[in-house]
Structure 1
């Protein structure tokens, strides 16, 4: 299609604006109320009005045309033309900043917005080109994983989808759709996945939508801290002996001896715990909490170093608040790109394995120290903290290590959502896609998960509500009313 032809408006507002920031930058003209768009390479520049400059700030690969139009109307009022963003896009095409695929056929107009190209300098020839960093990974179960290590994103596609994606950068979309006898909507969905996961040149992962506050969020929320990947990469080579067979054998013997020793002393261990609670009581909370934080930190490093050993990327470590208790988390989502199941199991189980090692070392220290000494006291508390966190982590009904371990062992991704979807299809008499062993696992998991959620969150809700309305009834009612008004008021899109 010729770049001078009018831009089709039928479905273009549903698509994400191209990311201009990779090749262009905005600047304000000091002598007038205009904005200049300057090329990062070369001397090219173009002048735009202040309104157009405002809109161009959102051409970052994260916002749809509809969203940008809405933002501009909020900023400049309803007098702004309804086709303002479309006209701006047409202007970018006319200025040769963007272009449309000239090979598009007339029956594929609804896909034309996807064929916007950068034309200046040495920019990529097609907007549909995959980033150079993305990798195709063949999974033993027959599907493909497209991995984006730059943004730590991935998608799972079929063999046919892989072939389609490989051809999109070289052939018109309509021709690809015709060859594989698929609808253009299917290709649109595929391209949306590529855009959301930032697989395409000029795209970045969209920010998650802002949602209204819900008091239940206080029971579970994350606070990102930092990116540990550079530090892990710097030190991983010094620790690779940990994942060797000789060390695994020695570790197995060590843990077996510790388990047998602990079992033979379980009566004495329980008695010691009761004595500590009787004599120290609440004064144990601070040292126990600090030791628990130490255990959790080492636990997360176990996940991180194991994934790094197998070539994964760990983009984030942070704090995790669970039911008002501090914990930590490690973003190990890149482990899904490990095609060997035992590697995924080791990444997930590494944290619990670290806790078992801590508990075993603490048991030996407790046995080797004299009763009443600080070493005897701390080693017992450390062992208790390790065993306590193991019990929490191995629960597969909550989204802790036990859940992800169950996912890795069964090979059923999204175990919880698929289990509820299984019953939804069953009750609505829709076709059930799951068969055999997977169907049995899903059928068992959903009811157990519901029972767990009912008892845990039901208990917490009753206790918190009882305390609040008993001790601060007026304040509780006011807060509840304020939140209800806030939550149920319409939200701007």
Structure 2
């Protein structure tokens, strides 16, 4: 049963769930907004300040006693204007705030297939000692990254291998395949641990850890915290970016070690660590829906996610409003995706060259083609989700 038919039959007298609250928050650039949330159910809506009064009145008036027609009259009398109450109910129902309707099609469901999910029954917290050790580890990793960046800038001769084709020893391809498999698993785990420790550091407890086939193709781990969306933007940025930061730190560490190694096989292993973690960081940086880059981009440019972006301008008016900001954000989004794609494909080619014992132009073209098709496919899924949400709200 779709949402419209549910509203026509079961939500004749809408009643909101218990435990809803509205809190204020602030974007990275100081813009104040509000969040309507129910932490027990893990659902959130971001609300512009000028729309808060409508949601507050919805909490007050949608008690299951009034029909939609009665609510329309109440809203008109309260605010002295015509309010699209049905559109408001659609939004609240689709987000899970209306009793009798639990939306099954979340953004995660739309973009991926769940392979395994573990729900935490008890709250997990960091002890003061572990929290201090985490802070020290982050400080050390910052120093390592700064040293590697300085070495790249001021001592580039040691890092010419970054720009040369892979030099290989015969009969090492099999070893490199095994090494790449092991290092890939370690990189993924280290990436997710970055999110876990950062979230726990800011006092948020783990809700679940799941494994998905992202875009029904690529394996992906997804860590979910309780109340993460209620964190201030700067803290949320650190939690979301912690996984990418961890991968960059592993790349920097291996990059600093490589110039001091003499054994070619050992150098090959550390190059796999370097490129493997660079691939992990860049793959997550591409801003397609549900990637770390998607959420980082949303925070940096203050863009609401797909379920919330249509509240402003669309909830109480017909049509969409185009602005210079949306155009600039779109150009930056495409630019970031393109740059990440080029660097990602080049890094993948280096790894493939090591595994297949030598660079090959056909392999290079195949790598670029595969990543290009995958990203294009993910973008199409993003458009599908946006269109779906837009149809619900307009």
Question: TM-score scaled to structure 2, two decimals?
Answer: 0.64
2:355 equivalent to 1:440: no
2:223 equivalent to 1:330: yes
Asked if the contact 2:172/2:265 (under 8 Å) is kept, the reply is: no
In structure 1, the partner of 2:85 is: 187
2:253 equivalent to 1:361: yes
Aligned pairs (5 A) from 1:79-118:
113-114=12-13
Greater RCO (CA < 8 Å, at least 6 residues apart): 2
In 1, the alpha carbon distance for the partners of 2:333 and 2:264 equals 46
Give the drift of 1:322: 6.1
In 1, the alpha carbon distance for the partners of 2:240 and 2:172 equals 36
Residue 194 of structure 1 aligns to a residue in which SS? helix
Give the drift of 1:443: 4.8
Residue 13 of structure 2 aligns to a residue in which SS? helix
Instruction: Say how many residue pairs are matched.
Output: 324
Asked if the contact 2:212/2:220 (under 8 Å) is kept, the reply is: yes
Q: Which runs of 5+ in 2 are unaligned?
A: 342-364, 375-394
In structure 1, the partner of 2:297 is: 406
In structure 2, the partner of 1:38 is: none
Which digits, 9 at most, give the CA deviation of each residue in 1:142-168, with x for residues without a partner? 432111222211112322223312321
Give the drift of 1:319: 3.3
In 2, the alpha carbon distance for the partners of 1:364 and 1:345 equals 27
In structure 1, the partner of 2:284 is: 393
In 2, the alpha carbon distance for the partners of 1:300 and 1:285 equals 23
- After superposition, the CA RMSD in angstroms is 4.7
Which digits, 9 at most, give the CA deviation of each residue in 1:429-455, with x for residues without a partner? x97634444442235546986998xx9
Q: Which runs of 5+ in 1 are unaligned?
A: 1-11, 17-63, 67-110, 116-127, 210-216, 465-493
Residue 275 of structure 1 aligns to a residue in which SS? coil
Residue range with higher mean Cα deviation, 291-300 or 392-401: 392-401
In structure 1, the partner of 2:22 is: 136
Residue 59 of structure 2 aligns to a residue in which SS? helix
Give the drift of 1:284: 2.1
In structure 2, the partner of 1:178 is: 77
Residue 156 of structure 1 aligns to a residue in which SS? strand
In 2, the alpha carbon distance for the partners of 1:179 and 1:203 equals 27
Residue 131 of structure 1 aligns to a residue in which SS? coil
The structure that has the greater radius of gyration is 1
Residue 276 of structure 1 aligns to a residue in which SS? coil
In 1, the alpha carbon distance for the partners of 2:237 and 2:304 equals 13
Aligned pairs (5 A) from 1:12-411:
14-15=5-6, 65=9, 113-114=12-13, 128-132=15-19, 134-140=20-26, 141-157=31-47, 158-168=51-61, 173=71, 174-183=73-82, 186-200=84-98, 202-203=99-100, 205-208=102-105, 221-227=112-118, 229-230=120-121, 233-235=124-126, 239-241=130-132, 244=135, 248-261=138-151, 263-268=156-161, 274-276=166-168, 279-281=171-173, 283-312=175-204, 314-321=207-214, 324-331=217-224, 335-338=228-231, 340-364=232-256, 366=258, 371=263, 378-396=269-287, 400-411=291-302
In structure 1, the partner of 2:378 is: none
Distance 1:130 1:223, change over 3 A: closer
